[in-house]
């Protein structure tokens, strides 16, 4: 049974990946917006923001990486919505394949596409001065956190992909996710924010994730941020996975 699931998922993932390779502009578009934001913040606003001994590009890169992921998952919802509209899900339901493999194919494709976009953004950051003396273990921890965050947001994207009534509705859910890093420690220290805004910023998931990644890359003590970040990612992942599967069962029933 497990072998059947993995074989079917691999075949379906190959199909969705081929769709991505035929429209590489989606990956490029996903990377261009965060890179433009990074250039704007570093060269226009960076000089006015005090980040202590950490260069501003090093300070704000974790937030840009999260925005890259939030931008990328909009295409996951879009691709899933288009498959639903084309009737291919009904066709798959009539075939002897693992039903959950259809969703996992879109999720894995999203992971691959987003990881490519993240790599492009990191290379752009290096080109404008990003440097890190972090060791292999720290980089692995950063990669693991980003992968887990991508997986969590991708399962969130599955829900509107299955339930939206229009193409715009399928991708519009990502806008609040893209905006969330701006009310966090991603671009400015939370200590500079007004009271109520600061309280929200310091207790939302993006701040702990950004702080953990930033500390790992700048070789600073991570403290409890890494565990809070992982707890947020796992919690979001579990809830999104449950609701996505509920929506899927209702749609194909």
Q: Calculate the average pLDDT of the chain.
A: 84
- Residue 4: pLDDT above 60? no
> What mean pLDDT is predicted for residues 39-48?
85
Confidence of residue 119 (pLDDT cuts 50, 70, 90): very high
Higher local confidence (pLDDT), 181 or 105: 181
Picking from 233-237, 240-244, 249-253, which range would have the lowest pLDDT averaged per residue?
249-253
- Residue 217: pLDDT above 90? yes
* Per-residue pLDDT, 7: 67
- Residue 201: pLDDT above 70? yes
> 45-90, pLDDT tens digit by residue?
877 887 878 889 999 999 999 999 998 888 888 878 877 776 666 5
Higher local confidence (pLDDT), 24 or 69: 69
* Per-residue pLDDT, 66: 95
Q: Of the segments 17-26, 185-194, 235-244, which one has the largest average pLDDT value?
A: 235-244
- Residue 245: pLDDT above 80? yes
Picking from 53-62, 90-99, 121-130, which range would have the lowest pLDDT averaged per residue?
90-99
Confidence of residue 241 (pLDDT cuts 50, 70, 90): very high
Confidence of residue 175 (pLDDT cuts 50, 70, 90): confident
Confidence of residue 161 (pLDDT cuts 50, 70, 90): confident
What is the pTM (predicted TM-score) of this model? 0.88
Q: What total of structural domains would you count in the chain?
A: 1
Q: Residue 9 is part of which domain span?
A: 2-252
Secondary structure of the chain in the HEC alphabet?
CHHHHHHHHHHHHHHHHHHHHCCCHHHHHHHHHHHHHHHHHHHHHHHHCCCCCCCHHHHHHHHHHHHHHHHHHHHHHHHHHHHHHHCHHHHHHCCCCCHHHHHHHHHHHHHHHHHHHHHHHHHHHHHCCCCCCCCHHHHHHHHHHHHHHHHHHHHHHHHHHHHCCCHHHHHHCHHHHHHHHHHCCCCCCHHHCCHHHHHHHHCCHHHHHHHHHHHHHCCCCCCCHHHHHHHHHHHHHHHHHHHHHHHHHHHHC
């Amino acid at each position: 049974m497990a072998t059947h699931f993995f074989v079917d998922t691999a075949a379906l993932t190959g199909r969705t990946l081929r769709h991505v390779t035929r429209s590489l502009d989606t990956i490029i578009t996903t990377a261009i917006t965060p890179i433009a934001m990074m250039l704007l913040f570093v060269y226009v606003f960076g000089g006015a923001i005090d980040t202590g001994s950490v260069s501003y590009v090093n300070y704000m890169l974790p937030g840009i990486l999260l925005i890259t992921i939030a931008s990328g998952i909009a295409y996951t919802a879009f691709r899933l919505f288009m498959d639903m509209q084309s009737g291919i899900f009904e066709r798959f339901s009539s075939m002897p394949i693992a039903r959950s493999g259809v969703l996992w194919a879109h999720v894995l494709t999203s992971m691959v596409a987003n990881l490519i976009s993240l790599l492009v953004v990191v290379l752009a950051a290096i080109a404008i001065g990003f440097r890190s003396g972090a060791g292999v273990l720290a980089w692995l921890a950063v990669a693991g956190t980003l992968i887990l965050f991508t997986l969590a947001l991708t399962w969130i994207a599955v829900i509107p992909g299955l339930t939206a009534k229009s193409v715009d509705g399928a991708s519009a859910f990502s806008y609040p996710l893209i905006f969330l890093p701006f009310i966090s420690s991603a671009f400015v220290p939370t200590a500079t924010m007004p009271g109520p805004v600061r309280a929200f910023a310091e207790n939302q998931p993006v701040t702990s994730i950004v702080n953990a990644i930033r500390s790992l890359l700048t070789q600073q003590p991570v403290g409890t941020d890494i565990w809070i970040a992982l707890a947020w990612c796992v919690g979001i992942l579990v809830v999104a996975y449950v609701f996505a599967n509920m929506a899927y069962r209702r749609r194909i029933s």
